[in-house]
Structure formats: structure tokens, C-alpha cells
């Protein structure tokens, strides 16, 4: 498997974590380099990461890559994607991804000197993150979303989102006791430690 992306991308990190946990070997093409970016743009019309080439299949979205890996390689110790929890987990993923995407937008705009109060749309984005994170805290059952005590796609998404927000200083998530406990609990995993952004 050939995976295109950067070690700081939370979406790429999900795939790296999943591969490590499932024992799937992969080669990471660093798209932060000129050569990696050139190769990505030649192969992926979206110019978006993660992009993966697996078993002669080309996939350019983290959710589709995840689906392909779980369907073809098995779910290992992860909570299966199908089941009575499926639609609740899908909603959780949508919410977490929305908060993360809004956080990424704010991060890049801040680098350009544009603050959330520069326009009503940006203010709404910032407020949306808070709304989503409040919802997520209500949905968590300790360190998991479901009572099975297994890591699933929603836990994987939340960990990468929160850890990226902490790493990029987008939000002080580590100051929230619920999120701090969640990050500390799951952060002990060898795969999370090995995929940590630097």
C-alpha cells in the first residue's frame, strides 16, 4: 500500500493508525516535499490527502480508504462498522469531521492573520466547533462512545481531531477534563504514539 500525505494531517493519521493496528504494511509518500506534492497532483485531481494506492485501487478520501481496508483486510479488534450502532456512529463521524474541518480552516486563516471575528461566517464556524464538542462530550461514555469498550471509527476520529487541535493550539482541549481523560487513556496506545504529529 502506498499512502500519500503528511505526518501532521489528522486524516492521514487515522489511516496510519488503522494500518498499524491491523498489521497492514504501507509506504508513506510525504506530500510536504516538492517531489511528493508533484506525484500527488499527477495522480489525484483533488490534490487532497490522504490518497492511497491499494491492490491496484486508487482511493482519495479517508473514509473510503478506511472502508476499503476494513472490508478487504478485516476489522481486527476494532468495533465492526456494521451493526445497530451504525447510524449513530455515522452521525458522530460527521460531527467530529465538521469540527475538525472548521478547526483546520481557522488554523490556516489565523496563519494568514485573519481572526474568527473578521466575518460572520468565520464567527459561525468557531461557534459551530464549540457546539459540536459540547455534543460529543454528552455522547461519550467514559473513554468510548459505545458500551462495548472497543475502539471504533468514532473514537479514532475523535482522538485524531482532539490531538490535532492540541498540537496546532487551535483549541485548549487538554484543559477540558473529559477530553483530557479521553486523550490520556487512548494516547497510551503504541500506534497512537508512533503516529503522533511532530
Q: How far apart are CA 122 and CA 87, in angstroms?
A: 29
Q: How far apart are CA 136 and CA 145, in angstroms?
A: 9
C-alpha distance from residue 76 to each of 104, 127, 157 (Å): 31, 37, 17
Query: What domain range includes position 136?
Result: 84-195
| Residue 12's CATH number | 3.40.30.10
Judge whether 79 lies within some domain: no
Q: Are residues 92 and 143 in the same domain?
A: yes
E strands of the chain, at which residues?
2-5, 27-30, 51-54, 57-59
Q: Are residues 94 and 64 in the same domain?
A: no
Judge whether 33 lies within some domain: yes
Strands 2-5 and 51-54: antiparallel
Judge whether 179 lies within some domain: yes
Residue 92 is placed in which grid cell? 458522530
Q: Are residues 69 and 158 in the same domain?
A: no
In this predicted structure, what is the pLDDT of residue 83?
84
Record the pTM.
0.95
Q: Are residues 89 and 166 in the same domain?
A: yes
Domain final residue pick, 73, 94, 114: 73
Q: How far apart are CA 191 and CA 158, in angstroms?
A: 15
In this predicted structure, what is the pLDDT of residue 198?
84
Residues in the chain: 198
Q: Are residues 188 and 121 in the same domain?
A: yes
Q: Are residues 107 and 164 in the same domain?
A: yes
Q: Are residues 95 and 166 in the same domain?
A: yes
Q: Are residues 23 and 100 in the same domain?
A: no
Q: Are residues 88 and 63 in the same domain?
A: no
Question: Concatenated DSSP letters for 129-141?
Answer: HHHHHHHHHHH-B
Cα diameter, the chain: 47
**Count of domains in the chain?**
2
Residues 3 and 52 sit within 8 Å (Cβ to Cβ):
yes
Q: Are residues 92 and 184 in the same domain?
A: yes
Domain final residue pick, 27, 48, 73: 73
Judge whether 78 lies within some domain: no
In this predicted structure, what is the pLDDT of residue 38?
98
Instruction: Walk along the chain (198 residues) and give the pLDDT tens digit of each residue.
Output: 999 999 999 999 999 999 999 999 999 999 999 999 999 999 999 999 999 999 899 999 999 999 999 999 999 999 988 888 999 999 999 999 999 999 999 999 999 999 888 889 889 998 999 999 999 999 999 999 999 999 999 999 999 999 999 999 999 999 999 999 999 999 999 999 999 998
Strands 2-5 and 57-59: unpaired
Amino acid at each position: 500500500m502506498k499512502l500519500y500525505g503528511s505526518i501532521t494531517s489528522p486524516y492521514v493519521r487515522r489511516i496510519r493508525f488503522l494500518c498499524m493496528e491491523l498489521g497492514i504494511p504501507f509506504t508513506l509518500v510525504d506530500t510536504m516535499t516538492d517531489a511528493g506534492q508533484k506525484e500527488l497532483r499527477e495522480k489525484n485531481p483533488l490534490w487532497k490527502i490522504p490518497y492511497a494506492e491499494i491492490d491496484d485501487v486508487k482511493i482519495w478520501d479517508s473514509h473510503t480508504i478506511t472502508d476499503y481496508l476494513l472490508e478487504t483486510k478485516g476489522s481486527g479488534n476494532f468495533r465492526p462498522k456494521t451493526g445497530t450502532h451504525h447510524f449513530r456512529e455515522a452521525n458522530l463521524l460527521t460531527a467530529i469531521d465538521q469540527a475538525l474541518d472548521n478547526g483546520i480552516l481557522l488554523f490556516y486563516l489565523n496563519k494568514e492573520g485573519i481572526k474568527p471575528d473578521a466575518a460572520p461566517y468565520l464567527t459561525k464556524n468557531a461557534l459551530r466547533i464549540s457546539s459540536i464538542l459540547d455534543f460529543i462530550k454528552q455522547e461519550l461514555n467514559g473513554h468510548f462512545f459505545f458500551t462495548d469498550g472497543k475502539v471504533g471509527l468514532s473514537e479514532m476520529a475523535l482522538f485524531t481531531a482532539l490531538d490535532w487541535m492540541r498540537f496546532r493550539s487551535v483549541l485548549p482541549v487538554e484543559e477540558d477534563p473529559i477530553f483530557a481523560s479521553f486523550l490520556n487513556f487512548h494516547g497510551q496506545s503504541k500506534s497512537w504514539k508512533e503516529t503522533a504529529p511532530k
